[in-house]
Amino acid sequence: MEQLPAVRARAVTKSFGDVVALDDIDLEVTQGQIHGLVGPNGAGKTTLLGLLLGLSGVDSGRLEVLGTLVGRALEAPDGVAGFVDGPALYPSLTPRQNLAALAALRGHDARTAGIDDVLAEVGLTGVADDRTRGFSLGMRQRLGLAAALLFKPRLLVLDEPTNGLDPAGKKHVHGVLNRLTADGTAVVLSSHNMDDLETLCSDVTILVTGRVVFTGPLSKLATDNRELDYRLLTSDPQAARRVADEARGVRVVDGGGIRQNAELLVVRALVPALDDLVVRLVEEGVALRELTPVVSPLEAAFLALTEQQEAGR
């Protein structure tokens, strides 16, 4: 039996007075998927997350969340959890007390709510009895994630969940999200951190001024017909430059910096031309030590789509 999408939006519109925050948007999020939400400030991301969490209702269109039709009522279906604009916490309470209070508000017994389990899952066991007033931004984000996990959501809605986290904390949160999706939970993740989105997401939606300008697999966006700049580090910089100059569809746009006794070139090419360049370098006996985009494919596509949309206004 085919599973229903965790989220299905069709022609959804939402306005606040004269301001149209979401304009006729379509969106579909599959169960067991991390779906990224990207857009400049004011694009409508927070409004969309608020709709999914039941913080506001749609003005027009159709929004289904976990198979339930969501209308104007300010209530999320069972199985939805998350936070927008950072988690709301009681600063005078400890993480354990915060979660106990939240469990009580939802009619759960704090003794059986699994509080210690979710604190351990997000790496806060060691500070479970410290007051949250002195917590860093990253620790508050982790506690917000623990609060969302407390009720075993089937749809998790997160706004900048790795904001303020150090690399170890970010890796920890990534692991939590990947384990959730492996168990079938859908995650909608809004972030300005392109590295996070490229690491975690299978699909992404780009919003600009309340409209969807792209939605679909990240791989389709990243391999779109668009030239990118790549850092090229080899064992023989002179030979690499010669091969790049001779390769069709490849331009050397910059060469600078000495790293590992080799010149770091910057070349511009489409993916097929770049693939051909790698083959040619190998045939010439030039060792390839690094080949990375100067700007990530997602960021490059985001900038291009945003500029196109704003130019057409």
Q: H or E segment at 16?
A: strand 7-16
Query: What's the pLDDT band for 83 if we cut at 50, 70, 90?
Result: confident
**Is residue 243 very low, low, confident or very high in pLDDT (cuts 50, 70, 90)?**
very high
| 48 alpha carbon, distance to own chain's centre | 14
Give the pLDDT of residue 263: 66
- How far lies 78's CA from each of 32, 54, 67, 113, in Å? 17, 11, 11, 16
169-211 pLDDT, tens digit per residue, is: 889 899 999 999 999 999 999 988 888 888 899 899 999 989 9
Among the residue ranges 65-74, 192-201, 220-229, the one predicted with the least confidence is 220-229
End-to-end CA distance of the chain: 44
Q: Does residue 257 carry a pLDDT above 60?
A: no
For residue 227, the model assigns a pLDDT of 81
- Reading phi first (left if > 0) and then psi (alpha if -120 to 50, else beta), residue 192 is in alpha
Phi/psi of residue 188, nearest 5 degrees:
-110, 120
- Domains of the chain in start order, with CATH, are 7-222 (3.40.50.300), 228-305 (3.30.70)
Predicted confidence (pLDDT) per residue in 24-64, tens digit:
999 999 999 999 999 888 889 999 999 999 888 899 999 99
